[in-house]
Structure 1
Amino acid sequence: MNAEIETPITRLYAISNGTSLNFDPSGPYLIASWLGFAMSEEFRSFLDKSIGLIEEKVKEHGKLGWISDFREGKAVLDEDVQWATENWNSRASEAGLQYNALIIPENLFLGLAANDYKETTEQVEGIVVKRFKDIESARVWLSEVLNN
């Protein structure tokens, strides 16, 4: 009898407001779970820290997806969305990230910011971005694209 063994999700990094970066080896993917509002410095340092973790996990697994879970987030400043698009994306792509699943809440401001991010990302970088309303749909998509 082959029972499926669930692999634990590991917390790799967190900032003071509770926003965390977790690793799920079943994807494999990193899950950025945004909580509340992050000041620009926290937002950017969180994403800066993720670059080394992306490189590490790509070396270990050969592939990696990213889930940006904004369901518990409050807002992202326009300047930070622009910074992520123009700065973080190229570094994340160079580190080996190819797919980003955005989980968008009902919160209008985050939905608009994530929409701007998605449109710009698709035009400039090699990261494929797709929006979802729940984490399970994001995982299904990432499993499909990472295993093809």
Structure 2
Amino acid sequence: MPDDVVLAESYGSVLADAAVPCVIVQLHGFANRAAFTHLMETGLAYYEARATPERPWGWIGDVRRMGAIPQAVQEWLIADWNVRAFQAGVREVSIVVAENVLGQLATQQYVRNTTARRDQYEIVTANYPSLEAAKQGARAAFLL
């Protein structure tokens, strides 16, 4: 079954797979602050409308084609978005690993910063080599 398209832009997409269930945010290259936050906010709104404690949803960041992330966006992710995502029920962010060095560095920074904030929220990150592997990981997380 193909993923449902929630949002499709040149810089990225928000998809949903109700069979897992999970929200997938895909970056198609560099996204400036407004574009990046638009993707993440759209995904979080979709997640909040569907996830419940009885039927949790996963969160996948498919960043294979992502470029660098501006420092202000990294700070927003850690201090704002992660807090709200945790309050909405996100407990794991499954990451499809970036193919380029800039994307890898940005992802590593996000993981480090998220781990450092365990006193504010407990979001675990997990890296996967493909979208299908990330979906399997998100599905397995519900069984724990």
In 1, Cα distance between equivalents of 2:5 and 2:60: 14
Counterpart in 1 of 2:3?
Answer: 9
Alignment partner, residue 27 of structure 1: 20
Partner SS for 1:63: coil
For structure 1, which runs of at least 5 residues remain unmatched after alignment? 1-6
| CA distances 1:68-120 after superposition (whole Å, capped 9, x unpaired) | 01112222212212211111001111111111111122311110110110111
1:51 to 44, 56, 63: 44
Residues 1:94 and 2:72 are matched in the alignment: no
Against the structure 1 CA distance between its residues 74 and 121, is the aligned structure 2 distance closer, same or farther, given a 3 Å change threshold? same
In the alignment of these two chains, the number of paired residues is 141
**How far apart are the structure 1 equivalents of 2:25 and 2:54?**
18
Kindly name which structure, 1 or 2, has the bigger radius of gyration based on alpha carbons.
Answer: 1
- CA–CA separation in structure 2 for the residues paired with 1:75 and 1:120: 16
Q: Is the 8 A contact 2:65 2:100 kept in 1?
A: no
Offset of residue 33 of structure 1: 1.0
Give the root-mean-square deviation of aligned CA atoms: 1.8
Sequence identity of aligned pairs in percent? 24
TM-score (norm 1): 0.86
Offset, 1:61: 6.6
> What residue in structure 2 maps to residue 80 of structure 1?
73
User: Hey, what does 1:42 align to over in structure 2?
Assistant: 35
Which consecutive residues of structure 2, in runs of 5 or more, have no partner in the other structure?
Answer: none
The one-letter amino acid of 1:74's match is: G
Deviations 1:20-59 (A, max 9, x none): 1100012111111111111111111221222221111203
**What's the TM-score once normalised by structure 2's chain length?**
0.88
2:125 matches 1:133: no
Change (3 A) 1:108 1:29: same
Q: Which amino acid aligns with 1:26?
A: A
Structure with the larger strand share: 1
